[in-house]
Amino acid sequence: MRWYVVAALLTVLTSSQGILTTLSQSNGGYKYDYATVPFLAEVFKLLVSSVFLWREMQNSPPPKMTMDWKSVRLYPIPSIIYLIHNNVQFATLTYVDTSTYQIMGNLKIVTTGILFRLFLKRKLTNLQWMAIILLAVGTTTSQVKGCGEASCDSFFSSPIQGYLFGALSACLSALAGVYTEFLMKKNNDSLYWQNVQLYTFGSIFNMGRLLMDDFRSGFEEGPWWQRIFNGYNTTTWLVVLNLGTTGLLVSWLMKYADNIVKVYATSMAMLLTMVLSVILFNFKPTVQLFLGIIICMMSLHMYFAPPSTLVDLPLTVKPVSESVSEVPAERKTDS
């Protein structure tokens, strides 16, 4: 499958994620425990990957599977990074409002490019760096509200701790993505075997979070496994399937493409979500949204288009010596 087909699917699924989550609400809240959704999504990804791995093992020769503990022990690290990242997110939101947090979240676009260069040793051209910065500017522009609104003032009035936690959150998000790409590409193991390892630890860590929530609440509503499906309906299951399928597509991109493709797909998804919100939720489009879309499309073209289509190269002029040597012999003798 072509990487741009997977990236397009990821864009559509990611954009529908927020819409489905909104539709799963009832009277402005959730009837189900939202912490169970990531856990069930991890279990879904684990089951799908296990089935595909089993099918691969029926073939000859069987897929490559590294079972050395030195390799396996690296796979819990992304889950640990994401666990820390989630806690940093909550810490950030105690100091800044939601609008400021969303704008600061665009830092991960640039930090992904930096870590992509530092840890994976992948060199980016000057045009590609400019495209990445343009992408961050475009997504930020689309999220900025009118300067006459309170949110414009709130961005500059948050305490310094909020900005520090926001920067740390962006770095952790980028680090998790870059490290996952390193894991997927460090050997020729089967993609589905690597997924099984990632999602096994992901399921364990999400289960641990559910247990921690139970201990914090003193088991008032009973253990999580007794109420895991409480409040679930068709839309909630679509949220789980969407989240799980998105994770599988991301792992494919990490294996066969790279983090920058994922960043573009998720950034375009955010813009697509805003456009769909105009249709579905009577969201009022703004000039900033249209400007952001134009800037992001320019960035997309700059990053992936061949340099020859972006820059007019000067016509090559033959040296004088070459033109003289190409003069016919009879012309030379006549002179």
Say whether pLDDT at 327 is over 50. no
Position with higher pLDDT, 72 vs 279:
72
Q: What is the pLDDT of residue 103?
A: 80
pLDDT tens string 123-155: 899 999 999 999 999 998 988 865 555 555 555
Using pLDDT thresholds of 50, 70 and 90, give the confidence band for residue 315.
low
User: In this predicted model, what pLDDT tens digit does every residue of 148-195 receive, in sequence order?
Assistant: 555 555 555 678 888 899 899 999 999 999 999 999 999 899 999 999
Minimum mean pLDDT range among 70-74, 76-80, 326-330: 326-330
Local confidence band at 331 (pLDDT 50, 70, 90 cut-offs)? very low
Query: Which pLDDT tens digit goes with each residue over 282-313?
Result: 778 888 888 999 999 999 999 998 877 877 65
Give, to the nearest 10 degrees, the angle between helix 107-120 and helix 126-143. Answer: 150
pLDDT of res. 185:
93
pLDDT of residue 82: 87
323 pLDDT more than 60: no
Q: What angle do CA 292, 97, 269 make, to 5 degrees?
A: 35
- How many angstroms separate the CA atoms of 319 and 117, rounded? 40
**Percentage of residues of the chain with pLDDT beyond 70:** 88
Would you list the domain boundaries of the chain?
3-25+33-146+155-306
- The secondary structure of 174-235 as a DSSP string is HHHHHHHHHHHHSS---HHHHHHHHHHHHHHHHHHHHHHHHHHHTTTT--GGGSTTTT--HH
- Range with lowest mean pLDDT among 50-54, 117-121, 279-283: 279-283
pTM for this predicted structure: 0.85
What are the beta bridge partners of residue 26?
A: 29
CA distance 39 to 160: 34
Confidence of residue 330 (pLDDT cuts 50, 70, 90): very low
Look at residues 66, 140, 69, 129 and name the one whose alpha carbon lies nearest to residue 100. 140
Average pLDDT for the chain = 86
The DSSP code for 259 is H
